[in-house]
């Protein structure tokens, strides 16, 4: 008998007792090489000692502080996130909350205007973020959704052009559609978004999964010459502590005036201590260059070991985010189960896609080990 609601379906029957470096260990002591990072969260691995030490010290000093008072740690983290001196931060606790903040801000800046988002995108499970998540399997059963959301097809410039009207206030987009199947944005589509932004449509980039160094840049939009009006981020920002953030250009600060939004836990000292430790690493010299180097290495390894296999339809990648689309005869659930038997953890995404989100600190030898295991399975 379980006391838990079954919204996650039947869980994988594995209980992990601890993590070390880029490995998880189950009750029997079996080791698993983790190519999931807890779905893009444990980007600095399970032995991020600076983060652990910062959180432990913060627990002793002051675990919680309400947002009624000054919070220097929030200032520090916001400053580290403000990569070009144009953004101010609102802290939340998750990706969906970061997106709710963004959607509320847009409503204030562009009253009564619509928000455009893309088929197979994913922005979260709360009502606003879900209304922007154009996937039937996420939205079904929850009508009425929030009004004012319009959809277009991702990476389809004509569909985008047909969907944009004089009422369009904002566009929310992922640089890689992660949950939807690991589809990176095309350069053409990014350029089209930039052109609409130049016409005054607000550009919200959801970096919840792609941010925090995952693609070899602090934010994935940097690969495409975009400068969003609003950025949302979460997942890897706390390396295990729940942190979400919305960054808005300073010009929009007056719209989020006193009382317009808030959170009890958002920007909590524990979360901020962890996020500061994470960002100190991400912004340190050479770290992101190393991630890009590892991403190139992984790309070669995937080509060498997996491309050309009958089971593999396509390999898509941006940085250390990889999607391996399987041929129709192969079932992703079976591949994941087989991988677990071999001591390898990988994810699924979209329709029959294996998703790899290895920790950014994974070594080339460990990356090779994972790819070779996949080769044996596929
Ligand atoms: C791009 C993107 N946005 C938003 C979310 C929602 O984040 P959370 O589960 O922290 O609410 C996710 C989660 O997978 C995501 O990948």
Q: What is the DSSP string of 287-355?
A: HHHHHHHHHHHHHHHHHHHTTT-TTEEEEEEETTEEEEEEPTTS-HHHHHHHHHHTTEE-EEETTTEEE
Tell me the pairing of strands 312-318 and 244-249. unpaired
User: Is 245 close to ligand 1, i.e. is its CB under 6 Å away?
Assistant: no
User: Is 138 close to ligand 1, i.e. is its CB under 6 Å away?
Assistant: no
How remote is the CA of residue 122 from the centroid of ligand 1, in Å?
7
Task: With 0.95 as the threshold, say if the pTM is over it.
Answer: yes
**What's the CA gap between 120 and 132, in Å, rounded?**
10
User: Is 183 close to ligand 1, i.e. is its CB under 6 Å away?
Assistant: no
For residues 249 and 86, the answer to whether their CB atoms sit within 8 Å is yes
H/E stretch holding 198 reads: helix 187-198
Task: Report domain extents, the chain.
Answer: 16-47+286-377, 49-282
User: Is 132 close to ligand 1, i.e. is its CB under 6 Å away?
Assistant: no
For residues 31 and 369, the answer to whether their CB atoms sit within 8 Å is no
How remote is the CA of residue 124 from the centroid of ligand 1, in Å?
5
User: Is 93 close to ligand 1, i.e. is its CB under 6 Å away?
Assistant: no
How remote is the CA of residue 280 from the centroid of ligand 1, in Å?
23
- Which residue, by CA, sits nearest to atom 3 of ligand 1? 123
How remote is the CA of residue 9 from the centroid of ligand 1, in Å?
18
Indicate the top mutation candidate among 41, 127, 233, 234 to test ligand 1's pocket, ranked by most ligand atoms within 8 A of CB.
234
Is CATH 3.40.50.970 what the domain over 16-47+286-377 is classified as, yes or no? no
What number of other Cβ atoms are within 10 A of residue 302's Cβ? 20
User: Is 208 close to ligand 1, i.e. is its CB under 6 Å away?
Assistant: yes
Two structure tokens written together for 375: 């080769």
pLDDT in tens, the chain (378 residues): 899 999 999 899 999 999 999 999 999 999 999 999 999 999 999 999 999 999 999 999 999 999 999 999 999 999 999 999 999 999 999 999 999 999 999 999 999 999 999 999 999 999 999 999 999 999 999 999 999 999 999 999 999 999 999 999 999 999 999 999 999 999 999 999 999 999 999 999 999 999 999 999 999 999 999 999 999 999 999 999 999 999 999 999 899 999 999 999 999 999 999 999 999 999 999 999 999 999 999 999 999 999 999 999 999 999 999 999 999 999 999 999 999 999 999 999 999 999 999 999 999 999 999 999 999 999
Minimum-distance ligand 1 atom for the alpha carbon of 174 = 1
- Which residue, by CA, sits nearest to atom 7 of ligand 1? 95
How far from chain centre, in Å, is Cα 263? 21
User: Is 133 close to ligand 1, i.e. is its CB under 6 Å away?
Assistant: no
**Crossing angle of the two packed helices 72-81 and 269-282, in degrees rounded to 10:** 30
How remote is the CA of residue 50 from the centroid of ligand 1, in Å?
25
Could you tell me which CATH number the domain at 49-282 has?
Answer: 3.40.640.10
**What's the CA gap between 131 and 125, in Å, rounded?**
9
């Amino acid at each position: 008998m379980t006391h838990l609601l079954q919204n996650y379906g039947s869980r994988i029957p594995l209980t992990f007792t601890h993590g070390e470096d880029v490995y998880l260990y189950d009750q029997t002591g079996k080791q698993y090489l983790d190519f999931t990072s807890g779905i893009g969260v444990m980007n600095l691995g399970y032995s991020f000692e600076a983060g652990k030490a910062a959180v432990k010290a913060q627990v002793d000093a002051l675990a919680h502080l309400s947002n009624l008072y000054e919070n220097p740690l929030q200032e520090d983290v916001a400053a580290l996130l403000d990569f070009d001196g144009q953004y101010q931060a609102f802290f939340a606790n998750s990706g969906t909350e970061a997106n709710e903040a963004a959607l509320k801000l847009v409503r204030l800046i562009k009253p009564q205007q619509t928000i455009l988002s893309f088929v197979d995108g994913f922005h979260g499970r709360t009502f606003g973020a879900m209304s922007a998540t154009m996937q039937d399997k996420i939205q079904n059963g929850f009508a009425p959704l929030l009004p004012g959301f319009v959809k277009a097809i991702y990476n389809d410039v004509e569909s985008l052009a047909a969907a944009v009207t004089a009422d369009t206030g904002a566009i929310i987009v992922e640089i890689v559609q992660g949950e939807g199947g690991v589809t990176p944005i095309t350069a053409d589509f990014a350029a089209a978004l930039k052109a609409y932004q130049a016409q005054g449509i607000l550009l919200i980039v959801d970096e919840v999964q792609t941010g925090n160094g995952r693609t070899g840049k602090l934010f994935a939009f940097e690969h495409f010459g975009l400068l969003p009006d609003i950025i949302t981020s979460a997942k890897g920002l706390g390396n295990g502590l729940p942190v979400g953030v919305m960054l808005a250009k300073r010009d929009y600060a007056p719209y989020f005036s006193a009382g317009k939004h808030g959170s009890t836990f958002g920007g909590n000292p524990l979360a901020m201590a962890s996020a500061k430790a994470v960002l100190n690493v991400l912004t340190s010299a050479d770290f992101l260059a190393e991630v890009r180097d590892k991403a190139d290495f992984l790309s070669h390894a995937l080509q060498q070991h997996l491309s050309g296999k009958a089971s593999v339809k396509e390999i898509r990648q941006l940085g250390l985010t990889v999607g391996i689309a399987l041929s129709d005869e192969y079932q992703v659930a079976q591949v994941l189960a087989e991988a677990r038997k071999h001591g390898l953890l990988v994810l699924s995404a979209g329709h029959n896609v294996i998703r790899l989100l290895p920790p950014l600190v994974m070594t080339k030898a460990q990356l090779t080990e994972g790819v070779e295991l996949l080769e044996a399975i596929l």
